[in-house]
Amino acid sequence: MIEKNVSYNSFQKKIVPYLDGSLSKEETAEFEAFVLTHPEFENKIKEKRDELETIRAMIPAGLLTKESQESMESEMRTSIYNLIKEEPRGFMDTVRIKWEDFLNN
């Protein structure tokens, strides 16, 4: 059961990078294969897409330079990632989470 949660959480962390197209081709294929075998996960993707669209709609894009827009989007992705990231419950969790972060970046 722990392995399933680890896998599910690691794919949940990839939703925003998937939506913004920053996953590699291999990661995208792996993510899409996971979604095909976990249809309930599509709702999480839709919810995150809707959240991002709501946030983007609130940003006065016409008043920002391209660099400012990219910077704000990067900060937004980081903030969202920090909201959903898993907090370690011990040393082994810390090591696992650091290892997953290393592999995902």
pLDDT (tens digit per residue) in 70-98: 888 888 888 887 777 767 778 887 888 78
Instruction: Kindly report the length of the chain.
Output: 105
Contacts of 13 (CB under 8 A, 6+ apart): 81, 84, 85, 100, 104
Residue 2 has pLDDT above 60, yes or no: no
Mean pLDDT of the region 25-44? 90
Half-sphere exposure (CA, 13 Å, Cβ side) for 25? Answer: 0
Residue 29 has pLDDT above 90, yes or no: yes
Tell me 88's DSSP state.
Answer: P
Mean pLDDT of the region 52-57? 84
pLDDT (tens digit per residue) in 7-21: 778 888 899 889 988
pLDDT at 32: 92
Tell me 65's DSSP state.
Answer: -
Q: Which residue has the higher pLDDT, 33 or 77?
A: 33
Of 55, 43, 105, the C-alpha closest to 80 is: 55
Rg, the chain, Cα only:
15
Phi, psi of 46 (to 5 degrees): -60, -45
